Every structure is written in C-alpha cells, then in structure tokens.
C-alpha cells in the first residue's frame, strides 16, 4: 500500500484537520463526533441540508459544504457509514428553524443510521425530512445495498437542493426537488483498477491488465460483469445505453451530463469520455444544456469513470445555476 498518510487509523481525522486549516473561510470542522458545517451555520430561517457517508469519496461530501450547497457533511471512516450521533449533532448544528433535509445515499448502513439520527432530531423538535438517492442502474441489489445504489445523482441533488434552499425554498419544496432530481437521474460506472482501503492494506479486488469491471459501485463492490477493456467511445456507449433506456430519456429532453472520475483517471481521459457521451446523447435527440466533468465522487485512487444523466426542468436548472461557494464547487459568488 503506497499512500501519503501517517497511519491508517488517523486518515480521516488528519484529512479533516487539513480541510479545516485550508478552508477556514468556508467551513468549520467539529471532531468527535466528526462533522463539517458551513462557517456561518446555522443560517436563520433557511432549510438546512445535511448529507454524509463513508470517507474515501472526496470531495463528496465535505467539499460540498458551503453557501448554496450543503450545510453539513458527516464523514464516516473510509467506506463506512457515519454514526447516528454524527448525523444528529450535525443536524442540530445547522438547524436554522426551517427544518433540515437529510440527503442519504442508498446503502444499508447509511439508511439505518440516518433513520436513527432523524428520530433523535425529531425528539429535539427539529422538523426533518429524508430523501434516499438510488440512481445507479448497474445492479438491483449489491453487497452493501438493498435496491439500487446511490451514486452520481447525489452530487447533483446536493447542488440543486442547496441552490433552492439558499433562495428560500421551504422544507417540503426542497425535499420534493431532491426526490425529483433522484427520479430524473440515472448513473452507471466502471473501474479500470481497484482501490486500497488504508486499514485493509491491500486492493479490494484484482483486475487483469486487460480487464475492466463494468457497473461497479463506489466501494469497489462488483458490478454487472468483468470484461475486456474497450475503447473509450465504446465504453461511453456501454454506460449510456442502459442509462438512456432506464428512465427512459426521450427526444427533446433537456439534460445535464455529468462525467465523473473515480480518482486516478486523468482529466484528459474524462474529456475523451465526455466527448463520446455528449455525441450519444445528441444522437438520441437530447439537448445537453448543463455539464460537469471531473472527480467529484471518487473511490480513493480507483481508476474509472461514471456517467450521470439528469433530465432538467426549470426549477432544477435555475438552482443548478445559482451561486455556490464550497471547497470543491464554486461559482457565481
């Protein structure tokens, strides 16, 4: 295992300390329980947005805390759900009196712990809603999930709900928008290499020099099939086809196209995939009006790519374009 760390047991705490030091204008980090809140939390009268999950997917979620996106993120240990007390403390810390939305990726541990956190928050008199993200069309159930996994749509939902909450939307409206984003988004990914969880010390799986794992999850859990590595244009087709068929997307739909890097894949390759994916979308009669290209939801140093396609409506587009000021996503303000 080759990593720039001091010890497997300190990875998350030291990375959080680094984030706190680097972004003290934007965020504050609370330790034990670990959570990140925007520097001006709680914002009076604004719906609070809380997400979280295992660490190792950076910049998701901590890099998305700030004005116009999340109010708090709860980082668990690497690839491990955060605990209910992290979530409930974060919820309390960002409660500005207008309620709090919990954005939960569909993994069994996350679901259970966010559920308990929601109960705790309700006992404290905080109005809470939960929306589960489950946009991955690759598999029906998997190692860590009953039902579809929550992947790339999470990033889009956090940005869009954050934009709406910042502009004064109420809790029901923000929760409805989150459900709408999840309902209109589909994703699929693949890996060219595995990643190594520091405390495990060895790669989570092995791939031959000419193989890729198609339909992979963000923890290295198996996908649809293991197959020979294909050219980028063919890879893009293989990802786009089940995405397009699933919603289904229809001619004339306006979409956001998100090409996400899993960690080690260079930007230059992501743009090659983006080029192919946009051409496929356009051949299907879709109008790609918004896009995102880069490593926003990673699996440590895994090489690979995922594609998320979101059918936009006016409310989503407006909230997507709204200003955002976070460590990892920042524009318009």
> 100 or 243, CB closer to a second copy?
243
Spatial separation of the C-alpha atoms in residues 265 and 305, rounded to whole Å: 7
Q: List CB contacts of 239: < 8 A, sequence separation 6 or more.
A: 188, 189, 190, 277, 305, 306, 307
Query: Could you count the other beta carbons within 10 Å of the beta carbon of residue 264?
Result: 18
Query: 320 near 69, Cβ under 8 Å?
Result: no
Candidates 97, 168, 201, 266: give the one binding a second copy (CB under 8 A). Answer: 266
How many residues of this chain bind a second copy (CB under 8 A)? 59
Q: Which of 122, 225, 231, 283 binds a second copy (CB under 8 A)?
A: 231
Candidates 23, 219, 234, 284; catalytic one: 219
Check if the beta carbon of residue 288 is closer than 8 Å to that of residue 281: yes
Task: Tokens for 305, please give them.
Answer: 């790519």
Cβ contacts of 288 within 8 Å, gap of 6 or more: 255, 256, 257, 278, 281, 282
Rule CB under 8 A: is residue 325 a binding residue for a second copy? yes
Residue number with CB closer to a second copy (2 or 251): 2
Contacting range for a second copy; rule: CB under 8 A; set: 80-88, 120-128, 148-156, 206-214:
206-214
Instruction: Give catalytic status of residue 219 as yes or no.
Output: yes
Can residue 194 be called a binding residue for a second copy (CB under 8 A)? no
Which span (1-9, 89-97, 133-141, 168-176) binds a second copy, by CB under 8 A?
Answer: 1-9
247 vs 325 by CB, closer to a second copy: 325
Cβ 127 to a second copy, closest distance in Å? 33
Query: Which of residues 48, 52, 54, 63 is near a second copy by CB under 8 A?
Result: 63
57 is catalytic: yes
Residues 73-92 that bind a second copy (CB under 8 A): none
Q: How far apart are CA 257 and CA 275, in angstroms?
A: 11
Q: Is 17 in the site for a second copy (CB under 8 A)?
A: yes
218 is a contact residue toward a second copy (CB under 8 A): no
Neighbours of 267 (CB within 10 A): 12
Of 81, 89, 88, the closest CA to residue 105 belongs to 81
Binding range to a second copy, per CB under 8 A, among 6-14, 33-41, 125-133, 157-165: 6-14
Report how far residue 57's alpha carbon sits from residue 77's, in angstroms, rounded to the nearest whole number: 11
Q: Does 271 bind a second copy (CB under 8 A)?
A: yes
Q: Which of residues 273-292 bind a second copy (CB under 8 A)?
A: 273-275, 278, 291
What is the token pair recorded at 143? Answer: 């190692």
Judged by CB under 8 A, does residue 268 bind a second copy? yes
d(Cα 242, Cα 118) in Å, to the nearest integer?
Answer: 34
Alpha-helical segments (H) within 102-231:
108-123, 153-166, 171-183
At residue 154's C-alpha, the angle toward residues 152 and 160, to 5°, is 115
Q: Does 214 bind a second copy (CB under 8 A)?
A: no
Nearer to a second copy, 42 or 217 (CB): 217
- Interface residues with a second copy (CB under 8 A)? 2-7, 11-12, 14-19, 21-22, 55-56, 58-59, 63, 192-193, 209-210, 212, 229, 231-233, 235, 263-275, 278, 291, 293, 295, 298, 300-301, 303, 305, 325, 327, 330-333
- Catalytic residue numbers, as ranges: 57, 219
């Amino acid at each position: 295992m080759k990593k720039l760390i001091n010890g497997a047991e300190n990875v998350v705490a030291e990375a959080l300390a680094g984030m706190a030091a680097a972004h003290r204008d934007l965020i504050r980090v609370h330790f034990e329980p670990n959570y990140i809140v925007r520097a001006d939390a709680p914002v009076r009268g604004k719906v609070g947005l809380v997400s979280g999950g295992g660490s190792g997917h950076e910049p998701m979620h901590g890099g998305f805390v700030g004005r116009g996106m999340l109010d708090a993120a709860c980082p668990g240990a690497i690839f491990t759900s955060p605990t209910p007390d992290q979530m409930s403390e974060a919820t309390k810390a960002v409660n500005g009196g207008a309620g709090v939305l919990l954005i939960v990726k569909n993994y069994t541990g996350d679901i259970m712990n966010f559920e308990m956190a929601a109960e705790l928050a309700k006992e404290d008199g905080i109005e809470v809603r939960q929306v589960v993200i489950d946009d991955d069309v690759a598999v029906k159930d998997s190692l860590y999930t009953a039902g579809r996994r929550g992947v790339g749509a999470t990033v889009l939902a956090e940005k869009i709900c954050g934009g709406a909450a910042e502009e004064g939307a109420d809790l029901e409206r923000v929760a409805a928008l989150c459900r709408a984003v999840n309902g209109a988004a589909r994703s699929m990914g693949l890996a060219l290499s595995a990643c190594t969880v520091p405390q495990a010390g060895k790669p989570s799986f092995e791939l031959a020099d000419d193989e890729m794992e198609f339909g992979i999850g963000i923890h290295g859990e198996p996908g649809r099939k293991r197959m020979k590595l294909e050219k980028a244009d063919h890879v893009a087709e293989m990802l786009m086809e089940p995405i397009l068929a699933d919603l289904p997307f229809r001619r004339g739909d306006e979409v956001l196209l998100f090409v996400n890097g899993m960690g080690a894949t260079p930007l230059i390759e992501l743009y090659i995939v983006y080029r192919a994916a946009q051409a496929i979308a356009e051949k299907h009669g879709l109008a790609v009006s918004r896009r995102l290209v880069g490593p926003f939801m990673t699996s440590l140093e895994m090489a690979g790519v995922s594609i998320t396609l979101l059918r936009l409506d006016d409310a989503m587009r407006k909230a997507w374009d709204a200003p955002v000021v976070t460590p990892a996503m920042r524009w318009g303000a």
